[in-house]
Amino acid sequence: MLPATAKWYDRRDSVFVEFCVEDSKDVQVKFDLSKFDFSCVSGTDNIKHHNSVELFGDIDPKGSKHRRTDRSVLCCLRKAEAGKSWPRLTKDKTKCNWLSVDFNNWKDWEDDSEEDLSSFDKFSEMMNSMGGDDLPDLDGAEEEHDSADSDDEKMPDLE
């Protein structure tokens, strides 16, 4: 059996692990408090994969789930302690050559405080509540307006 190639990323309340196996069959995922096991058969060659992962932190086995697609199996591991970041997926610091960080989905959420998020939400609400009727008509900005300002003189055409 070969370990399946996987990518992972961390969120405030969950950790996501995507096993990159195409045309998977017989997918089995078993979640425990501090580890999880993944196995499947993939491709036309029926390659058997098995990964056993001792996790960095504890998870909620009942709140964790997985979803299979034609190209991969995505596992959502619900953290037992939400709000605690995981610097790595595995308990051991040793590098697993089948595992990499999913930088496309990675987000440094630790720096986002609840205060920052709530003030951003208030700002978004304020922007959404502002009507567009009060905005000036910018289409006529190039028209000459009657004004005593000397900067409003018409510029000569460029040659």
Residue 5 reports pLDDT greater than 50: yes
Q: CA 68 to CA 98: how far, in whole Å?
A: 19
Band (pLDDT 50/70/90 cuts) for residue 123 is very low
Question: What integer is the mean pLDDT of 7-24?
Answer: 94
| Domain 6-95 CATH (choose: 3.40.1160.10, 2.40.50.140, 3.40.50.720, 2.60.40.790) | 2.60.40.790
% of the chain beyond a pLDDT of 70: 72
When pLDDT is averaged across residues 42-50 and rounded to a whole number, the result is 92
Q: What is the pLDDT of residues 49-90, one digit of tens each?
A: 999 999 999 999 999 999 999 999 999 999 999 999 999 999
pTM above 0.85, yes or no: no
pLDDT of residue 120 exceeding 70, the answer is no
SS3 string, the chain, reads: CECCCEEEEECCCEEEEEECCCCCEEEEEEECCCEEEEEEEECCCCEEEEEEEEECCCECCCCCEEEECCCCEEEEEEECCCCCCCCCCECCCCCCCCEEECCCCCCCHHHCCHHHHHHHHHHHHHHHHCCCCCCCCCCCCCCCCCCCCHHHCCCCCCC
How much is the mean pLDDT over the chain?
A: 81
